[in-house]
Amino acid sequence: MANRVPIPTSNSSLIAMIADEDTIVGFLLAGVGNVDIRRKTNYLIVDSKTTVKQIEDAFKEFTTREDIAIVLISQFVANMIRFLVDSYNKPVPAILEIPSKDHPYDPAHDSVLSRVKYLFSAESVASDRR
């Protein structure tokens, strides 16, 4: 099992976010936000002026940072960089697609959930047949 990624057991990791402003504000209020010495944030506010390149860079940065355990990403943002999200397959950090206020949640787009649903229905069909 040489390709298995070792799971770091650090004491405390951060939750990163790529979402619209309202969602970010809410989570910041809850105390998720972090700004380090170099004024680097662990979140990216996506508005109408944000380019796809910026989102891609942020996604790549968050998924490679050591101290991040979970990346929350709004679904409409995830749809913009769908190819990156779909090709990401490491267990840590975990990518979570969350619904945002202006964009209703569509389970069909979620890369993990679609796999789950697929397996789930396949397995339930298989268990019915037995």
Partner 1 sequence: MSGQSQRLNVVPTVTMLGVVKARLVGATRGHALLKKKSDALTVQFRQILKKIVSTKESMGDIMKTSSFALTEAKYVAGDNIKHVVLENVKEASLRVRSRTENVAGVKLPKFDYTNDGEAAKNDLTGLARGGQQVQQCRGAYIKAIEVLVELASLQTSFLTLDDAIKTTNRRVNALENVVKPRLENTISYIKGELDELEREDFFRLKKIQGYKRREIERKMILAREQQLVEKLQLQKGVSFDASHNLLSGTGDKDEDIIF
Site for partner 1, rule CB under 8 A: 1, 4, 7-15, 21-35, 41-42, 69-70, 72, 89-92, 94-96, 98-101, 105, 107, 110, 112-113, 116-117, 119-120, 123
Nearest to 114 by CA among 75, 81, 80, 77: 75
Q: Closest CB to partner 1 among 87 and 89? A: 89
Burial pattern 13-29, b for ≥16 Cβ within 10 A else e, equals: bbbbbbbbeebbeebee
Residue 111 Cβ vs partner 1, minimum distance, rounded to whole Å: 10
Residue 8 is classified by DSSP as P
Residue 31 Cβ vs partner 1, minimum distance, rounded to whole Å: 4
Residue 104 Cβ vs partner 1, minimum distance, rounded to whole Å: 9
DSSP 84-109: HHHH---SSSEEEEE--SSS---TTT
Q: Closest CB to partner 1 among 33 and 61? A: 33
* φ, ψ of residue 35 in degrees (nearest 5): -125, 125
Residue 109 Cβ vs partner 1, minimum distance, rounded to whole Å: 12
Q: Closest CB to partner 1 among 52 and 119? A: 119
